[in-house]
Amino acid sequence: MMSHAECSPPRHTSTPIQVAFEVAPTVPFVTMGDTFNLPLRPHLEKGDHHDTLPAEISQINQQWGSFRDVNEEVLLAKMAEEDAAGGAVESIEEEDENEMTTTERLEELYKKRAEMLQFAMTAHTEATMALDFVSLLLSKWAPRQAESCMSPYLKHAVPLGSIDVDIVNPPPLLDSVAQNSKAVSSGWRLYNFNFASKKLLSAAGRLENEVDIEARYWDSVLEIKEQGWKICRHPREGQTLAVQYGFLEATPVFRNRGLATLRRAHDGTLNLYKGLVPPGSPFVRVSVLRCSTVTGSTTPPASLSDTAKTIHQQILHARDSVFEDELFYELLREAKSMMDCGVTTRHNSIQIPVTDDVEILLELVDAEESLRDEPENAQLDTQLAEGVAYSMRILLSFAHRLNHRRRIRPPAPLASEKPRTPEYHLFRPSLAYLQHVSQARCVESFIHGITGVMRSSGFQLPEYTTEILASLKINQNLPPMTELSALESLMINFLEPIESVFKVNLLTPNSSFTIKMRTNVLEPPYGTHFNVTYDLPAIPDLRSPGNLEMRHEVEAAVTHALLLDIVTKVSSSNKKSSNNMKQWEAIYPHIGELRLPLDYDTYKKMQISLSRDNLTISTNLIHSPGGRGFGEAFQRKKTVESKTWTLRSSDNPNEHSSALDFVAAETA
């Protein structure tokens, strides 16, 4: 037994064959031969045969232990060791090769082989004997198992269970030995106690650490909850908490994005895990374009910058990102429904024509890259862009509110066709407002211009009244609605058709005309519609133009009314002033023509023409032999004298200071 133990390699206690395989490359059998070393390497078949991966892994596990302990240093050390051993063997072999000739080597080989076989035989015999001995010893307690590994000879020779072991009184130990073993055992015990206490202490420390980490995590969660966020169990991951920051009434794809998992990092800080969400900070930038040049655009809010540090900021960032994404999605949907109004869409941009030279550009950009050089004098347009941006966001929230209202209503009966969700009104109200205001300003400036011309010409025209955006009742006390909150009624007020009213009082008393402008916000027909009403009692047969679509028609109607007013004024001006019979007679008031008869075949004709920029009055003294009739006599008439009064600048004044003076002079 002892000899076998000596022969076996010192490091391992596994099966003999495995020992041989394992140790041979590194530990040569130097004890077996003095001059020649032959490694007991197994014959390596270099074929295509490879072990399967699970087999290799289990092999490595058995051979080297768990992978957990393997790291780079261990592997490097192992490699160095192998290199050193392999190199030694090789160098020895090289030396031998040099010394021996072929025959000698062959002889040596045979000799050593025989020697090796002999040793192997001895080892085998001893191992068999040891096995037999142990088997026989065990056969008393486990005869079946022991029998299976007994040699046939032993089985035949000795009956099973015929040997037993027992503890006999050991010889009394020497004091020194007893002392020694006592010291060793107490040493061991001490060592083990130390070891256990260390383990326990480290476990306690780790637990304490864990408690700290958990406390930090729950404090953060509580902090989030106190800030007003909704914390819930994640519906898919049962054991994790999640924070709800999205909008429950949004389109499902964005509603589902409004939930993020609150994961715990190693140090207990909160990690907001949002799932598969495109990175970056989307931002809907609104730009105002004048003549295709950007003259103002919005800047992203601070919460959208990607440098969010605290968890609260991160949640805000996530919420704003999902809101911006949804905003642009809904804007695209609305834009597609408004293609017929000239709205064009690209992958990430929407271009909306507002007026002739103003356009609004909506783009989905990254908040980090969206900073644009501020053009000079862009203050007003930046304000306009910001106004549009705010209104879009408020309207999206309002659409969410309406969705909520729709959702909690008693459901409609289930039908085969699902009701389609209509597009939200996000930029349409702003567009309607801008278009309306632009049209109203144009009309106002036109009225201002043309009444200014009349005033400069000396007509005492009363002031006109303007009520732009008359339909908005922001400051009024809104009635408390049963279902809608005050805020919602305010929003609904903004979504009603926009109206503006212009009322111009005329020279003739009690005469006026009114222009009402109306722009639909929500439903077609889009665009601004006008309604012009005349109130001219002096001309009873005149009918109001009524509904008009185009601005130039409105301007024509206004000019017409003012011209009629001037004609009425001129024809009636002499009635009061003098008692003479001379009086201008409006023969064609609609084209501004008057006539003053002088005698039988002479008369004066006055032509008044009014435009936005000028007022011209021209008189012609016409000699018409045979009377003022038409037909042949008309052919013979001829103009004798012609005079014209035009509104001029102060540098080049007229002979008559005002048009009425001119008329008075002409009448006289």
Partner 1 sequence: MHELLLFASVPVHQHAELLQQLAGLTGMQPRHCFERRLIFKAYRKPGQPNARVGASQDLQKGDLQRVNKMLNGGMFYTQLVGSVQSAHFGAAAADAVAGGAPAAPPADPDTNMDGMDEANPPLPRKSYDFDQQRWSLEFRDIPEAGTRSGVTARVMATAALPAVDVVQLMNAWGYSFVTEYIVEGDMFVQNDTAIYLHRVLHYPTTGDQEIRSPRRQLPNLDQMAPLEKTGSYVLQASITVQDSTNQDAMKTASQHLFALREQLRSAVKLEPADRLALDTRVK
**CB of 262: closest distance to partner 1 in angstroms?**
19
**CB of 256: closest distance to partner 1 in angstroms?**
13
* Residue number, 58 or 485, with CB nearest to partner 1: 485
Rounded CA gap, 563 and 592, in Å? 6
* Residue number, 276 or 415, with CB nearest to partner 1: 415
* Residue number, 442 or 484, with CB nearest to partner 1: 484
The encoded tokens of residue 622 equal: 């016409």
* Residue number, 405 or 636, with CB nearest to partner 1: 405
* Residue number, 152 or 410, with CB nearest to partner 1: 410
Reduce the DSSP state of residue 101 to 3 states and report it: coil
**CB of 418: closest distance to partner 1 in angstroms?**
10
How big is the chain, counted in residues? 668
Output the 3-class SS for 230-255.
Answer: EEEECCCCCCCEEEECCCCCCCHHHH
Q: For residue 525, is the peptide bond before it cis, meaning its omega torsion is within 30 degrees of 0?
A: yes
**CB of 322: closest distance to partner 1 in angstroms?**
17
Rounded CA gap, 568 and 585, in Å? 9
Can you tell me which residue has the tokens 């499902």? 252
* Residue number, 480 or 540, with CB nearest to partner 1: 480
Per-residue b or e along 421-434, where b marks 16 or more CB atoms closer than 10 Å to that residue's CB = eebbbbbbbbbbbb
**CB of 330: closest distance to partner 1 in angstroms?**
20
Rounded CA gap, 243 and 262, in Å? 7
Rounded CA gap, 155 and 147, in Å? 7
**CB of 413: closest distance to partner 1 in angstroms?**
4
* Residue number, 410 or 524, with CB nearest to partner 1: 410
Beta strand extents in 142-235 (DSSP E only): 230-233
* Residue number, 228 or 413, with CB nearest to partner 1: 413
The encoded tokens of residue 631 equal: 């037909």
Rounded CA gap, 141 and 148, in Å? 14
**CB of 399: closest distance to partner 1 in angstroms?**
17
364 backbone dihedrals φ, ψ, rounded to 5°: -100, 110
Q: Indicate the residue type of 651.
A: D
221 backbone dihedrals φ, ψ, rounded to 5°: -60, -45
Q: Indicate the residue type of 644.
A: T
Closest CA to 639 of 602, 666, 665: 602
Q: 400 CB contacts (<8 Å, ≥6 apart)?
A: 247, 249, 250
Output the 3-class SS for 575-606.
Answer: HHHCCCCCCCEEEEHHHCEEEEECCCCEEEEE
* Residue number, 46 or 409, with CB nearest to partner 1: 409
555 backbone dihedrals φ, ψ, rounded to 5°: -65, -40
628 DSSP assignment: S
* Residue number, 189 or 404, with CB nearest to partner 1: 404
**CB of 241: closest distance to partner 1 in angstroms?**
15
* Residue number, 276 or 414, with CB nearest to partner 1: 414
**CB of 486: closest distance to partner 1 in angstroms?**
11
Binding site for partner 1 (CB under 8 A): 248, 404, 407-411, 413-416, 476-480
**CB of 481: closest distance to partner 1 in angstroms?**
8
Rounded CA gap, 198 and 604, in Å? 127
Whether residue 337 contacts residue 350, with contact meaning beta carbons closer than 8 Å, is answered with no
**CB of 440: closest distance to partner 1 in angstroms?**
25
